[in-house]
Amino acid sequence: MRRIHVMAAVIRDAERRILIAKRPDDAHQGGLWEFPGGKLEPGESRLEALQRELHEELGITVQQARPLIDLQHNYPDKHIRLDVWEVSEFTGTAHGAEGQPVRWVTEHQLPSYAFPAANQPIVAAARLPQRYLITPDCAATEVLQGIEHAIDAGISLIQLRQTQLDIQDYEALCEQVLQRYGARATFMLKGDQPPADRRAGWHLTSRQLRAMCEQPPPTRPLPAERWLSASCHDAEELQMAERLGVDFAVLSPLLPTASHPEASPLGWEQAHAMLNNCRLPVYLLGGLTGDDLAAAHNAGAQGIAAIRGLWNQP
């Protein structure tokens, strides 16, 4: 079986817009939009290949880049590795050096463009931040203060957990949080049913995920325009999350944690092996802080999820 290693890039400008390019009409999946890149050549490092391809295709020189998501696809006659990096700094003016149309778009505009099906996890990864905050169990006033502090610190994806509350009190707090902060951050809510407020996404427990996948074929319980995520603890649950069509997953526990001392940690090596066979953006959870972001990226993760590691951090 042929093995093909393809580099691709989510390129951001100073305004955080993302560059996309249109495939030639006569090419495979012609007329669709894609993220620029090309094949890794023998003897090249991944970064060298990315720099060469983007210079040839767009006339830019990459200054700063990091791994974003690594996707594996098996076909009857070949194995494709789609190795996607985020480019945050470059020199030169990006243009279609090979005659291809290019366009700068915002994260919110990305879903309105037609991409190949294999690119959909990249679209999600490009729209998701590096940090996913999970709120701790505490009084409502402390939750509101902590969320305010987190948003001011640049955190834009927050799971409202609050396991100490009954259903009515939790729903009341969710409504208060969304009214106050819904325009400033994306909130993932918990519960037995999808959140009624369309501004919020739904985070599934691993038990909910398994229950939904027991009834074939698994059907995504939210429309595509709303975020759906799931907690996973092993490779089987990651595969279930893929089949259900979630937008991103959380894999835990990576390291020993005070909140779940009885859980057996995965460790970096095992987590990397699981992510290597996953076609979703995945956050690593368990004993991590912002200092672990680079290690998480190198392991193939979208970033980190945390309670203590991100709550009330400077």
Tell whether 28 is in a known binding site.
yes
CA distances from 197 to 29, 145, 157, 200, 202 (A): 36, 22, 16, 6, 10
Q: Is 127 annotated as a binding residue?
A: no
Give CA–CA dist 300/86, Å, rounded.
13
Is 35 known as a binding-site position?
Answer: yes
Q: Is 297 annotated as a binding residue?
A: no
State the sign of the Cα–Cα–Cα–Cα dihedral 112, 12, 282, 226: negative
209 and 237 in contact (C-beta within 8 Å)?
Answer: yes
Contacts of 27 (CB under 8 A, 6+ apart): none
The annotation status of 23 as a binding-site residue, yes or no, is: yes
Confirm whether residue 119 is marked as ligand binding: yes
Q: Is 36 annotated as a binding residue?
A: yes
Question: Whole-angstrom Cα distance, residue 19 to residue 23?
Answer: 13
Any idea which residue has 């409202």 for tokens? 160
Binding site residues, as ranges?
Answer: 23, 28, 34-37, 57, 119
Binding site residues for Mg(2+), as ranges?
Answer: 37, 57
Binding site residues for 8-oxo-dGTP, as ranges?
Answer: 23, 28, 34-37, 119
